[in-house]
């Protein structure tokens, strides 16, 4: 039982971090960023030296952990900010559909850029190998990484919520998320807030890539995709624009997935995702605005 709880929490952490990254950007510019998954993949590949050989040439991956983690976060943040400056800045007034397709096109460019440099073969890297030890807590044996994932996510969430609530920048960001036009009129500098949101979102993508990299031992150009989709769904059922909702929904989706895997009979287990997505539709039907509806995103009719 306890084991299931930990499994659910660790998977939920990944989804929650992903959902937060998507919700942050959606909050300030109504952009559903489909390039997020590719930022995750890019952050892992930044640890490797470009080569199309089967064997990965580890480059920054050899850094000690206290340098490696900031490095990956910075790469994620950097790429994310760069994508804002080069691409999304030109789409401030475009419709959500246009922005969404532009973000998809950007993700496509990043993915094929990685493919050109590294080939499609997944690369193996040993990221923070010390974390692959089993530990025992309250009778549940789990990989140390699982525990650290949960703890790190909680710490990051607390830090972020303090940041958003207590600092001027956070205040501006929340104001922008609620009513961007009004916030601008009240003197919030739009570019700064949006860049800040992109940087935070990119750093969260970097965090996910460290966890995924350490957990799977693999750098794969498609590695961000599955997490991003779940995160995307979590953002919506959490209530678009609501950061708390995104986190809550991320954990719920992780839990739903783990619980289904645990309780479904073997014949039904391959259909696990169909049940999870079915639940998503149900939630949407009953709460179309999401679990925690953010003010200002409701459709005014």
Partner 1 sequence: MASFPKVKSVALRTISTPLILSAVLVVLALVTVAYGSRPFNQTMIDIFVRVILVTGLYIFVGNSGVLSFGHIGFTCMGAYAAAWLTMPPMMKELSFPGLPDWLKALQLPYGPGAVLAGIFAGVFALIFGRILMRLSGIAASIATFAMLAMINTIYANWESVTSATNSVVGIPIVRTIWPYLIGAIAAVFIAWAHAISRHGLALRAARDEPTAALASGIDIPRVRLVAFTLSGAVVGLGGALMAHSIGVVTPDTFYLGLTFITLSMLVVGGIGTLTGAVMGVVLLSLLIQGLRWLERGVPVGESTFALPGGLQEILLGVVMIVILARRPSGLFAREFVWPARLGARRRNSSAATRNVPAGDA
Partner 2 sequence: MTRTRLMTGLSALALAVTPMTGALAEDADGNIVVGFATAETGFMQAYDKPAQDAAMIRIEEINAAGGLLGKQIKVVNADTKTDRAEGAKAGLSVLDAGADMVVVSCDYDFGAPAALTAESSGKVSFFLCAESIKAGVQGVGPHSFSASVLAAVQGATMAQWAHEKKGARDFYRLLDTSYVYNKGICDGFDWMLPTLADANLAGEDVFKNDDASIAAQISRIKALPKEPDAIMLCTMMPGAVSAIKQIRAAGINSMILNGSAVDGSYWLSAVPDLSDFYVPVQGSVYGDDPNPDVNAFNALYKEKTGSDPATQYTYPGYVMIDVWAKAVERAGSIDAGAVVAELEKMDGEPTLFGPRTFTPELHHQNKARYLIAEVKDGKPGIVDEWTISEPVPMEALMK
Q: Distance from CA of residue 214 to its chain's centroid?
A: 16
Residue 109 as a binder of partner 1 (CB under 8 A): the answer is yes
Nearer to partner 2, 192 or 269 (CB): 269
Residue 266 as a binder of partner 1 (CB under 8 A): the answer is no
Judged by CB under 8 A, the residue of 2, 54, 116, 263 near partner 1 is 116
- Residue 10's binding partner out of partner 1, partner 2, none, with CB under 5 to 8 Å set by partner kind: partner 2
Radius of gyration of the chain (CA): 19
Strand ranges inside 86-133, DSSP E: 123-124
Judged by CB under 8 A, the residue of 101, 148, 152, 259 near partner 1 is 101
- Residue 173's binding partner out of partner 2, partner 1, none, with CB under 5 to 8 Å set by partner kind: none
From residue 183, how far is each of 100, 174, 189, 217, 294 by CA, in Å? 24, 9, 8, 44, 16
Nearer to partner 2, 56 or 99 (CB): 56
From residue 179, how far is each of 75, 137, 154, 261 by CA, in Å? 30, 45, 28, 41
Cβ(226)–Cβ(273) below 8 Å: no
CA-to-CA distance for 123 and 113, rounded, in angstroms?
Answer: 15
Judged by CB under 8 A, the residue of 208, 219, 236, 248 near partner 1 is 236
Residues forming contacts to partner 1 in the complex (CB under 8 A) are 32, 34, 87, 90-91, 93-98, 100-102, 104-106, 108-109, 112-113, 115-116, 225, 229, 232-233, 236-237, 240, 270-274, 277-278, 280-281, 284-285, 288-290, 299, 301
């Amino acid at each position: 039982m306890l084991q299931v709880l930990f499994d659910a929490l660790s998977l939920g952490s990944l989804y929650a971090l992903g959902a937060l990254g998507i919700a942050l950007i959606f909050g300030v510019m109504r952009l559903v960023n489909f390039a997020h998954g590719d930022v995750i993949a890019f952050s892992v590949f930044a640890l490797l030296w470009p080569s199309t050989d089967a064997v990965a040439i580890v480059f920054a991956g050899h850094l000690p952990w206290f340098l490696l983690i900031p490095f990956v976060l910075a790469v994620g943040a950097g790429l994310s900010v760069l994508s804002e400056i080069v691409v999304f800045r030109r789409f401030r007034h475009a419709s959500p559909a246009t922005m969404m397709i532009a973000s998809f096109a950007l993700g496509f460019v990043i993915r094929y850029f990685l493919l050109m440099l590294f080939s499609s073969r997944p690369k193996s890297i040993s990221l923070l190998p010390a974390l692959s030890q089993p530990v025992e807590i309250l009778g549940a044996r789990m990989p140390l990484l699982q525990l650290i994932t949960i703890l790190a996510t909680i710490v990051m969430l607390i830090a972020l919520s303090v940041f958003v609530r207590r600092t001027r920048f956070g205040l501006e960001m929340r104001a922008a998320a609620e009513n961007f036009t009004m916030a601008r009129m009240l003197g919030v500098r739009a570019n700064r807030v949006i860049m800040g949101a992109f940087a935070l979102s990119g750093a969260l993508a970097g965090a996910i890539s460290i966890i995924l990299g350490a957990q799977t031992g693999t750098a794969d150009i498609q590695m961000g995709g599955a997490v991003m989709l779940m995160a995307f769904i979590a953002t919506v059922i959490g209530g678009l624009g609501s950061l708390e909702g995104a986190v809550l929904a991320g954990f719920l989706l992780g839990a739903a997935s783990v619980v289904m895997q645990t309780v479904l009979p073997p014949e039904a287990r391959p259909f696990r995702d169909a049940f999870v997505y079915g639940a998503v539709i149900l939630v949407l039907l009953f709460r179309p605005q999401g679990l925690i509806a953010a003010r200002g995103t409701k459709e005014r009719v």
